[in-house]
Structure 1
Amino acid sequence: MTRTGNSFLELLKIDVEENPVIAVVGGGGKTSLIFQLTRELVEKGKKVIITTTTHMAYDPERPFAGNVDPDGIQRLLDRYGYVIAAERQGEAEKVSALPLKEMEALTGLCDVLLIEADGARQHPLKVPEDWEPVIPPFADLVVSVVGLDCLGKPIRETAHRMERTAEFLKKSMDAPVTPEDVVKIASSICGLFKDVEDRVYRVYLNKADTLPEKEPAEIILKELLEKNTVAAYGSLKEASEP
């Protein structure tokens, strides 16, 4: 499925009534996807809390709660419809994970909890290390993100954990990334399906606007569908533009 007027919730077949705790993993674009989902959910009247099990950039222009104070969070939710809840040390440019019990307590304060659960340092592709991703046990649904701008480019230029990615694909780090590589990474328990277990799983292929033709994206979608994986492609950049 491409993004042709559908909301991202519809595009990825996300039912927040059934799956209100969503973890986002994979390559660059996770934060953008989280804020896109937040916009759609707030427009529907949902109260949304955003948090992380790793790190996120701190944005002083967004509502932020540095501790799990239910009254303070409720005031921010009433005013903005959403809030970012995480730990921040002093004037740090990054926020980090709350203790797990405090994070789980957030689920009782909102309709939907969106969790950035992985890091990629803006690279479009990654194969996780042993300790990654950091999906909390109470997550209901996992969305993995892959940037389609990785296609045709060397692994060493496009992959976070490039050595691990090359080893997983059994290729040299100078080999170009193919649609088949993306399918393998997105669907493998050693790739982006790692630690998903029995949770609902979705794949979002970002930066489709960088492709001269959409055929590679269609190939990836078709092969993921054959593996019973719901996936969609589009552009978060285009979605954020007026």
Structure 2
Amino acid sequence: MDEADATEVTTALDARDATVCVVGAGGKKSTLFALADRLDRPVVTASVRIPIFDDRVATVRVTDDPLAAIDAAGEDDWPLGLVPERDRADRYLGYDAETVADVADVAPGATLVKADGARLREFKAPGDREPQVPETADVVVPIASAHVVGEPLTDELVHRPERVAEIADRTLGDPVRPADVAAVLASPDGGLKGVPDGATAIPIINKVDDEADAAAAREIAAGVLDRADVSRVVLTRLVEAGDVADDPVVEVVE
């Protein structure tokens, strides 16, 4: 395992002019917004429900005709958020995956997609109908938080802990080990579920806030690289309302 120098997040995630779908738990929205802040004329959208994000992009259009909204966007509208409907006071609905693919076809830059949900947990395994990734996706980014290591495998911090237990061959209530996180991120039933043929998977370990987190994250990254055909794992310290000048990449492990 080689540890490369930290690089800029859009480069680490191959995000320029790409359709990037984020899945997992512990940093999806923060990843979307970190990319949106640093890319030229990106679209931010979702194929599942997404919390209100009007304060994180220049413009949000609630529309059943997202292609027309892209065509009508002015220079001050980027990053442009696109959603079909407000679901309730605190969240929007997402488009179906085919519509997201159509958006990506006409978007002038990257299309950044929240493609599953995690109910604010730090770690998850996908459900039967997740993720909702368009077949034309270029990059899929499975995310987990380093903060889950050492915590019990329960629904307090883990979304669908029973599925995590099945993939990692663990028992509910067991302390989560780096190997468990790696097993889920590297699994075709976990972090790599629904990655289209031809797409690149680039896992993230987020919330690497101190050296203990970094040690756990490096162990997770090594486990992912041993188990899955991925080129690198990105360690990040993403803050949803962070300063755009401070790049969130802590380390890239290859």
When the two structures are superposed, what TM-score results if normalisation uses the length of structure 1? 0.86
The structure-2 alpha-carbon separation of the partners of 1:3 and 1:233, relative to structure 1 and needing over 3 Å to count, comes to farther
Give the Å deviation of 1:22. 1.0
Q: What is the aligned partner in structure 2 of residue 52 from structure 1?
A: 46
Q: Which has the higher helix share?
A: 1
The structure-2 alpha-carbon separation of the partners of 1:56 and 1:69, relative to structure 1 and needing over 3 Å to count, comes to closer
The structure-2 alpha-carbon separation of the partners of 1:178 and 1:189, relative to structure 1 and needing over 3 Å to count, comes to same
When the two structures are superposed, what TM-score results if normalisation uses the length of structure 2? 0.83
Q: Hey, what's the Cα distance between the residues in 2 that align with 1:90 and 1:232?
A: 33
Q: What is the aligned partner in structure 1 of residue 119 from structure 2?
A: 121
1:35 paired residue among 24, 29, 33:
33
Give RMSD over aligned pairs. Answer: 2.4
Letter matched to residue 133 of structure 2: I
The structure-2 alpha-carbon separation of the partners of 1:174 and 1:132, relative to structure 1 and needing over 3 Å to count, comes to same
1:106 paired residue among 87, 103, 108:
103
Question: Alpha-carbon deviations, 1:33-88, whole Å to 9, x = none?
Answer: 000011111xxxx2111111111111343411111254543454521321110122
Q: Where in structure 2 are the equivalents of 1:146-185 lying within 5 Å?
A: 146-156=144-154, 157-185=156-184
| Bigger mean CA deviation after superposition, 214-223 or 136-145 | 214-223
Any conservation in 1 of the 2:21–2:141 contact (CA below 8 Å)?
A: yes
Q: Unaligned regions of 5+ residues in structure 2, if any? A: 247-254
Give the Å deviation of 1:103. 2.7
Give the Å deviation of 1:129. 1.4
| Bigger mean CA deviation after superposition, 23-32 or 162-171 | 162-171
Q: Where in structure 2 are the equivalents of 1:178-217 lying within 5 Å?
A: 178-198=177-197, 199-209=199-209, 212=212, 214-217=214-217
Q: Hey, what's the Cα distance between the residues in 2 that align with 1:113 and 1:238?
A: 18
Any conservation in 2 of the 1:2–1:232 contact (CA below 8 Å)?
A: no
The structure-2 alpha-carbon separation of the partners of 1:238 and 1:119, relative to structure 1 and needing over 3 Å to count, comes to closer
| Bigger mean CA deviation after superposition, 221-230 or 181-190 | 221-230
Give the Å deviation of 1:100. 4.4
Question: Do residues 66 (structure 1) and 62 (structure 2) align?
Answer: yes
Any conservation in 2 of the 1:149–1:211 contact (CA below 8 Å)?
A: no
Q: Unaligned regions of 5+ residues in structure 1, if any? A: none
The structure-2 alpha-carbon separation of the partners of 1:16 and 1:166, relative to structure 1 and needing over 3 Å to count, comes to same
Q: Hey, what's the Cα distance between the residues in 1 that align with 2:240 and 2:85?
A: 31
Letter matched to residue 52 of structure 1: A
Q: What is the aligned partner in structure 2 of residue 136 from structure 1?
A: 134
Give the Å deviation of 1:221. 1.9
The structure-2 alpha-carbon separation of the partners of 1:164 and 1:47, relative to structure 1 and needing over 3 Å to count, comes to same
Give the Å deviation of 1:225. 2.8
SS at match of 1:50: strand
Question: Do residues 11 (structure 1) and 12 (structure 2) align?
Answer: yes
Any conservation in 1 of the 2:62–2:85 contact (CA below 8 Å)?
A: yes
Q: Hey, what's the Cα distance between the residues in 2 that align with 1:214 and 1:90?
A: 38
Q: Hey, what's the Cα distance between the residues in 2 that align with 1:2 and 1:208?
A: 16
Q: Hey, what's the Cα distance between the residues in 2 that align with 1:180 and 1:196?
A: 22
Any conservation in 1 of the 2:48–2:132 contact (CA below 8 Å)?
A: yes
Letter matched to residue 93 of structure 1: D
Q: What is the aligned partner in structure 1 of residue 239 from structure 2?
A: 237
User: How many residue pairs were aligned?
Assistant: 234
